[in-house]
């Protein structure tokens, strides 16, 4: 046997002994900060929602070293959910960067994200996946703003802020957001190969528009859902995050060049924002 043939023989012998790992269909990132009371229920409900579907889901919890011990609880569930990944970041905080960190560790054909506080109904991921498959969409968006969708008992000011943010987004990104109703969604699923993660610059709370603008999506669809009330834990959303979102929109607007004004405005707004907070 030549050396080359020998090497081939041994490589094959070793790889035959390795367990056959099938790549997951979906890699779902669940960002957590102080979600000790929600994380187990979320994992259970996502897992159960795919029972009998034959679809392999890779669940990835990304926790920013929450003081309430979320990481430990998630780690403790690895026996129950083989393949569950738990990433604990100790030097970084922030929702958008946490989500990208999770996707960096993911191996699925589709990437997705869901809030970990059960405000997004856990079965939405299966519905997004099935809708994307059926309609051959690159991106499936969980939407509160199409028929059948909505928000459960939101305070009036959150409704106003959400609608204003939606309108500003549509003004700044008219082409990208043409036909999309829920531009501030935090839950979506997309074909992984449509986005180069290295090209993303995640900031603040919102990751959807960053992915939509930097990725290449030929077909987007919206799937209705009702945004639930939080029953455990507390929101980390703040006025600062609302302002950061507008700043982020201005940056995205200047990046796509869809309207001319954002570049200058972004500079001004950024200056104001970072002096204020």
Residues interacting with ligand GDP, by CB under 6 A? 31-33, 35, 62-64, 93-95, 98, 115-117, 119, 235-237
* Minimum CB–partner distance for residue 230 and Mg ion (Å): 5
Residue 183: CB minimum distance to Mg ion, A: 17
Given ligand GDP, Mg ion, none, residue 98, with its beta carbon under 5 to 8 Å by kind, binds ligand GDP
Contact flag: residue 117 with Mg ion (CB under 5 A): yes
Q: Closest distance between ligand GDP and the C-beta of residue 274, in Å?
A: 19
State the minimum distance, in angstroms, from the CB of residue 98 to ligand GDP: 3
Residue 64 binds which of ligand GDP, Mg ion, none (CB < 5-8 A, kind-dependent): ligand GDP
Question: Residue 213: helix, strand or coil by DSSP?
Answer: helix
Residue 237 site contact among Mg ion, ligand GDP, none (CB < 5 to 8 Å, cut-off depends on kind): ligand GDP
Among 119, 143, 162, 220, indicate the residue that binds Mg ion (CB under 5 A): 119
Question: Applying CB under 5 A, does 185 fall inside the site for Mg ion?
Answer: no
Q: From CA 141, how far away is CA 99, in angstroms rounded?
A: 16
In whole angstroms, the minimum distance from the beta carbon of 243 to ligand GDP comes to: 14
Cβ-based nearer residue to ligand GDP, 159 or 218: 159
CB nearer to Mg ion: pick between 70 and 119: 119
63 binds, among Mg ion, ligand GDP, none (CB under 5 to 8 A by kind): ligand GDP
Q: Does residue 35 belong to the site contacting Mg ion (CB under 5 A)?
A: no
In the complex, the smallest distance separating the C-beta of residue 19 from ligand GDP, rounded to whole angstroms, is 31
Nearest alpha carbon to residue 26 among 130, 116, 162 = 130
> Which of residues 97 and 254 has its CB atom nearest to ligand GDP in the complex?
97
In whole angstroms, the minimum distance from the beta carbon of 133 to Mg ion comes to 28
Question: Of these partners, ligand GDP, Mg ion, none, which one is at the site of residue 138 (CB under 5 to 8 Å by kind)?
Answer: none
Strands 110-113, 188-191: parallel, antiparallel or unpaired by DSSP? Answer: antiparallel
Q: Are 156 and 164 in contact (CB under 8 A)?
A: no
DSSP per-residue codes, the chain: --HHHHHHHHHHHHHHHS--PPPPSEEEEEEESS-TTTHHHHHHHHHHHTTTS---EEEEEEE---TT-HHHHHHTTTTTSTT-EEEE-SS---HHHHHHHHHHT---SEEEE--SSSSS-TTHHHHHHHHHHHHT-SEEEEESSSTT-EESS--HHHHHHHHHHHHHHHHHSTTTTTT-S-TT-S-EEEEGGG--GGG----TT--HHHHHHHS--S-EEEEE-EEPPP-SS-----HHHHHHHHHHHHHHHHHHTSSSTHHHHHHHHHHHHHHH-
Which neighbouring-strand residues pair with 62?
Answer: 31, 87
Residue nearest to ligand GDP (CB): 235
User: CB-wise, 119 or 254, nearer to Mg ion?
Assistant: 119
Report what 176 binds from Mg ion, ligand GDP, none; CB cut-off 5-8 Å by kind. none
Binding positions for Mg ion, rule: CB under 5 A: 117, 119
């Amino acid at each position: 046997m030549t050396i080359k043939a020998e090497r081939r023989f041994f490589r094959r012998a070793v790889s035959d002994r390795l367990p056959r790992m099938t790549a997951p269909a979906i890699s779902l990132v669940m960002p957590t900060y102080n979600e000790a009371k929600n994380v187990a229920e979320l994992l259970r409900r996502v897992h159960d929602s795919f029972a009998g579907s034959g679809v392999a889901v890779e669940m990835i919890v990304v926790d920013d070293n929450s003081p309430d011990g979320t990481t430990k609880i998630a780690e403790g569930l690895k026996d129950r959910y083989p393949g569950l990944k738990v990433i604990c970041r100790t030097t970084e905080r922030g929702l958008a960067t946490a989500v990208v960190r999770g996707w960096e560790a993911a191996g699925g054909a589709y990437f997705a994200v869901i809030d970990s506080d059960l405000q997004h109904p856990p079965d939405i991921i299966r519905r997004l996946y099935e809708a994307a498959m059926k309609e051959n969409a690159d991106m499936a968006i969980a939407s509160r703003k199409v028929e059948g969708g909505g928000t459960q008992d939101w305070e009036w000011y959150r409704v106003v802020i959400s609608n204003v943010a939606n309108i500003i987004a549509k003004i700044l990104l008219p082409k990208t957001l043409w036909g999309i109703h829920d531009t501030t969604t935090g839950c979506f699923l997309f074909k992984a190969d449509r986005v180069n993660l290295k090209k993303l610059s995640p900031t603040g709370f919102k990751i959807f528009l960053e992915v939509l603008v930097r990725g290449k999506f030929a077909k987007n669809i919206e799937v209705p859902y009702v945004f639930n009330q939080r029953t455990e834990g507390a929101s980390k959303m703040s006025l600062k995050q609302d302002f950061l979102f507008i700043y982020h929109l201005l940056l995205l607007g200047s990046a796509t060049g869809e309207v001319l004004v954002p570049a200058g405005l972004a500079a001004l707004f950024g200056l104001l924002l970072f002096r204020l907070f």
